[in-house]
Structure formats: C-alpha cells, structure tokens
Amino acid sequence: MSASPDTKAANQMWGGRFAEGPDAIMTAINASIGFDKRLYAQDIAGSRAHAAMLAAQGILSNKDAEAIGEGLLTVLSEIEGGNFPFRVELEDIHMNVEARLKEIIGEPAGRLHTARSRNDQVAVDFRLWVRAQCDAAIDGLTALMAAFVRQAEAGADWVMPGFTHLQTAQPVTWGHHMLAYVEMFARDRSRFEDARRRMNECPLGAAALAGTSFPIDRHATAAALGFDRPTANSLDSVSDRDFALEFLSASSICAMHLSRFAEELVIWSSAQFRFVRLSDRWTTGSSIMPQKKNPDAAELLRAKLGRILGATVALFTIMKGLPLTYSKDMQEDKEQVFDAADSLMLGLAAMTGMVGDMNANRPVLAQAAASGFSTATDLADWLVRELGLPFRDAHHVTGTLVAMAEGKGCDLPDLSLSDMQSVHAGIRADVFDVLGVENSVRSRRSYGGTAPDQVRAQVARWKGLLGLS
C-alpha cells in the first residue's frame, strides 16, 4: 500500500480544521487498514443495519438508504473480488469503505455517518468478528472432542500406565486417558459459549461516547445484527474490550490444554516410549537422519500457547489504566486477537487430525502398564480389605515387597508366595489376582474411575451429548 499524493492534503473525513496533512510517519503509525481490513464484512453489515434503521426512523430518506445499502454491497463484492483500492491515508477499514461508497454513490454516502462514530462502529465490528470466532472455536472443539471420544470407544479396556510425576503410578485404560481430554475441551467449549453469551450486546448507537440526539432505534440495529440487546451504557460501549479479553482468556486455557496433549504425543511417539504411532500426515523427516519421524505438528501445538498467551497479556497491558472512554491505544487490540484466533483455529484443526490418525501401540502399552510396580496400590488395598490391616501398615508392607522385587530385578507378580509371606505371614495365594493389570483396572469402578465399564458409560454419555452414532 503506497501513500498516494493526497497524503499531504488534510483528511477528507475529519480534516475540516486541519490546514496540513499528516507527516508520513504519522500516517504509518496511525493507520490500521493493514490489519483491520479483516473486519470488512462486519463493517459493511453494521453500516447496512445502521442505514436501514436511520431510514425506518425517518432520519434518512428511503432513497438515500437504498443507495447506501446497494452501494455497500458493491463495496463488499469489490473487496471479496480482490479489486478494492485500499488506501493507507484513509487510516482504517471504516473510512476506506465509506470513501469508496462515496465514489460509487456520491453525496448520500456522507449521510451514513449520521448518529454514529467510528468509536461505536469499531466496537460493533470487532464484537461481530470475535463472536464469529467464538462460534468457530465451539465448532472446532466439538470436532476435537469427537475425535477423542472415538479413541476412547476403541480403547475402553486397553491398559496403559497412568502417571504422576511422569513416574508409573497405577494402570489405567486408554479410553479413560482419552476422556480426560474430552472433559478439558468440554470446559473450554463452555467457556467460549459463556463468553459469547456475555458479549452478545450491541454497542452500535453509543456514537462517540455519549449517545446521540437523533431518534435512533438501537433495539432494531441490535436485532438486525443478531445481538440479544443493545448495550446499556454508551460510555462503557465504546471503551469496553472485555469481549476480546474473554475470548483470549478462553483461548489461552484451551491452548494450554492443547499443549499438554501435544507434549504427551511428543513423549509417547519417542523411540523410548513407543506408546503411539503418529501418521505420516502429521510428522516430518530429517534432512540428515533418515530414521527420523519428527512430531513437528505436536511440537508446534505445544508452542502455540506461547503466542496466544502473549496476545492475552498484550491486550491486558494495552487496556490497563486507560481512562474512559475510547483511546487510540485500543486500536492495538486487533492484531493480537487476529493472531491468537488464527493460531487457535489452526491448532484445533491440527490436533483433531492427529488424534483421528493416532494409533495406540497396544502391546507396548500393556507391557508398560505391568511394569514399574504399577499394582502396588492394589496390593496395599488387598491387605486392608482381606487382612484388615490399617492402610498405613499395608502401605509399609507393600513398600517392603516392592523393595524386595526391585532387589531381585523382578516385578511384584513375579515374587513367590513364600517371598510375600516372609514380609507378612497372612498373605494368601489369591493376592496374585489383584496384581494383574487387567484386574486392577477392572476393580476401579468408582464413579469417574478407570474401569472399562465406567469408561464405556462415559463414552455413551459423550456420544449422546455430541450426537455421535
């Protein structure tokens, strides 16, 4: 975008009191058209609703409103066709659209800005854009949850090690692990739904900050743009960016969840773990080491939170301490939100693809589940249940047996009954039943536990909620 010669002239939109045009560097720092052109569809929708309302209220003639409405559609098709002459000296999307409208329809274009300001205009445009991104995030999360539910359904009873501190803790089921992420992404989805509900109020008609003396109908424009109601305070309407902050906050939590599963994929797909095989579609090779299959998509997903949280911190910092109402600082909101939204949508789509393609390595998972004394808690529970030991004593007996097994270089089920009885004389042969991982997971039937029955019940619940067959 090059500055055209009339950069030197006073601005045609607000230049009445200006004798000179802005410095070229002023134009560069002031202009937002380079990025806010992404709001073109919302800007045109807002202007069309505004013009129609002005005519319905008798503020604008029907003839002018029609010319404006039609002209705006021409502008829309020019932008969508890629042949719209964006001009940096016109600062932003709002003035670019209006100036072009004037070239197309002439004088009536100048009447569109009656009872409006760029302050309420940008507030409504940006809200519409962020609202659409909430919808996109909700859809993306729904698809991702479905992919995890499919994995859980296939592997409701596949055993794997469960970890705390990344140390083997207790055997769990693959399905249970997958459903843990369904819970996380369901909370994320509800955060976007909640934010969307709260942001769905229309600031249009707040005008510059104080409202307007024209008899506008804010309920009509709110309804035309799909809002639940108009905002109730004109000062708040033009100075509020909570909707963007809530979107960024929800995006940050969601990206944090994505990064956690991404990290698990990086670990699980390594040669040392081999818990999963990632498909060729989501990995890359190395230009020097022919054996490599790198989990690049997972690594990038792990990193995305850095960007998204960075945008969140940036916007909080931009908004902090701003006096009411609008300040130009707020123009810095858009690039942060655009970048975060792009990263999030790409991340959700990539994760959905990876989860769909992911292959669990069942034999390796089963072997890992049985190692690392993973059923030590089952042994302690058995001592409590069958021999009436206090749990603390059972814990101690079990710890002694683990040390014994470790000394012999074997796992708990490999100890003989007499080994066990040398630590506690009351131990019987049926203890071996609880030392098997299959029995271990099957026994954890408490609500929300890892038992395959519980997992199947949760899979059924989620399939119902997600409308999956």
Residues near ligand ARG (CB under 6 A): 32, 36, 92, 118-119, 122, 326, 328, 330-331
Q: Cis omega before residue 325 (within 30°)? A: yes
Toward ligand ARG, which CB reaches closer, 66 or 332?
332
276-277 and 201-202 beta bridge pairing: unpaired
CA distance 361 to 369: 12
Active-site residue flag, 279: no
Toward ligand ARG, which CB reaches closer, 304 or 334?
334
Mark residue 448 as left, alpha or beta (left: phi above 0; alpha: psi -120 to 50; beta: remaining): left
CA distance 298 to 254: 15
CA distance 35 to 267: 38
What are the start-end ranges of the H helices in 294-361?
A: 296-319, 333-357
Nearest distance in Å: CB 326, ligand ARG = 6
Nearest distance in Å: CB 34, ligand ARG = 11
CA distance 100 to 89: 13
Q: Are 136 and 344 in contact (CB under 8 A)?
A: no
Both tokens of 403, joined, read 């040390």
Nearest distance in Å: CB 239, ligand ARG = 11
Q: Which of 268, 286, 259 is nearest to 347 (CA)?
A: 259
Both tokens of 447, joined, read 């609500």
- How many other C-beta atoms are found inside a 10 Å radius of the C-beta of residue 335? 17
Q: Which of 380, 308, 294 is nearest to 339 (CA)?
A: 308
Q: Residue 360 pairs with which residues in a beta bridge?
A: 276
Toward ligand ARG, which CB reaches closer, 94 or 189?
94
Toward ligand ARG, which CB reaches closer, 165 or 328?
328
Active-site residue flag, 286: yes
Toward ligand ARG, which CB reaches closer, 117 or 168?
117
Nearest distance in Å: CB 16, ligand ARG = 15
**DSSP structural state of residue 332:** G
Toward ligand ARG, which CB reaches closer, 35 or 84?
35
Nearest distance in Å: CB 44, ligand ARG = 15
Q: Which amino acid is at 45?
A: A
Nearest distance in Å: CB 119, ligand ARG = 5
CA distance 342 to 338: 6
**Residue 168 CA to its chain's centroid (Å):** 30
Toward ligand ARG, which CB reaches closer, 93 or 365?
93
Q: Are 178 and 155 in contact (CB under 8 A)?
A: yes
Nearest distance in Å: CB 68, ligand ARG = 20
DSSP notation for 190-217: HHHHHHHHHH-EE-TT-TTTT--SS---
DSSP notation for 359-422: EE-HHHHHHHHHSSSTTHHHHHHHHHHHH---HHHHHHHHHHHHHHHHHHT--GGGS-HHHHHH
Catalytic residue among 2, 165, 213, 418: 165
Toward ligand ARG, which CB reaches closer, 331 or 440?
331
**Residue 289 CA to its chain's centroid (Å):** 35
Catalytic residue among 61, 190, 279, 286: 286
Nearest distance in Å: CB 21, ligand ARG = 16
- Which of the residues are catalytic? 165, 286
